[in-house]
Amino acid sequence: MIELQKRLLTSFLLLIIIYFSLNNSIVLFLVFLALNYISLCEFNNLFKNIFKKNQFYFFSFLACVIYLSIFSLIIWNFLIPLSNKSIISLIFIILISIFTDIGGFVFGKLLGGKKLTQISPNKTYSGVIGSFFLSIISGHYFYIFFKMYLIFEINYLIFIIIISLISQIGDLMISFLKRKAKIKDTGTILPGHGGILDRIDGVLIALPFGIVLISI
């Protein structure tokens, strides 16, 4: 229950920060700058523990710099100039990722069952089902309320399932890196929950992919 409260609290704070930053392009830029800097620091910590600063460390860190730069450019290009469609679409994708994470945690804890992978021992098949279930339910009602701003070439339910799947893949990728680095959390910036990457692991992959899908 305490872990669930932490996840809900950090998710709520994340949405508040995003909401207020979307009202001002300068604040939005500063938020992106801060998130990128913290994320790079946490990736640097992961790769130092995995590769011990050999040649693989340099190329891995460089790949993260390139990815986060592309990540920021895609989102910035989508959001500027700020419009209701771009803002609502961004929140929609982030909301799907958040409820994917919460659904996986709640259903995994309540139902348990067979482990999904050794990469992340806490992940279960019931958690995967819960991730899809909760993201579809929350995404459906969000779409019903804001569908005038959410115009896709593909069915919105298929869109939700794709974003939820990619979000779970992002979660597993960070879990894999943490397991290789032999650390529990990517950082300590979020008291009781870990680092920024522990919170936005799914969003980091799902957000740019979702924006590309919307923009097609």
Task: Indicate the burial class of 181 (C-beta count within 10 angstroms; 0-12, 13-18, 19 or more).
Answer: middle
Q: Are 147 and 155 in contact (CB under 8 A)?
A: no
Which residue reads 């992959």 in tokens?
205
Q: Are 135 and 164 in contact (CB under 8 A)?
A: yes
Res. 179: pLDDT tops 80: yes
Q: List Cβ neighbours of 191 (8 Å cut-off, separation of 6 or more).
A: none
Q: Are 32 and 76 in contact (CB under 8 A)?
A: yes
Q: Which two tokens stand for residue 111?
A: 């139902």
Produce one character per residue of 188-204: b if its CB has 16 or more CB atoms within 10 Å, e if not: ebbeebbbbbbbbbbbb
Distance CA 79, CA 189 (A): 27
Distance CA 39, CA 197 (A): 6
Q: List Cβ neighbours of 24 (8 Å cut-off, separation of 6 or more).
A: none
Res. 193: pLDDT tops 70: no
Distance CA 36, CA 129 (A): 31
pLDDT in tens, 29-70: 788 788 888 888 889 889 888 887 777 888 888 888 898 888
Predicted local distance difference test score (pLDDT) of residue 144: 92
Query: Beta partners for 115?
Result: 124
Q: Are 104 and 112 in contact (CB under 8 A)?
A: no
Task: Indicate the burial class of 154 (C-beta count within 10 angstroms; 0-12, 13-18, 19 or more).
Answer: exposed
For the chain, give the mean pLDDT. 84
pLDDT in tens, 140-175: 999 999 888 887 778 899 999 999 999 999 999 988
Q: What is the pTM of this model?
A: 0.87
Stretch 182-207: mean pLDDT:
82
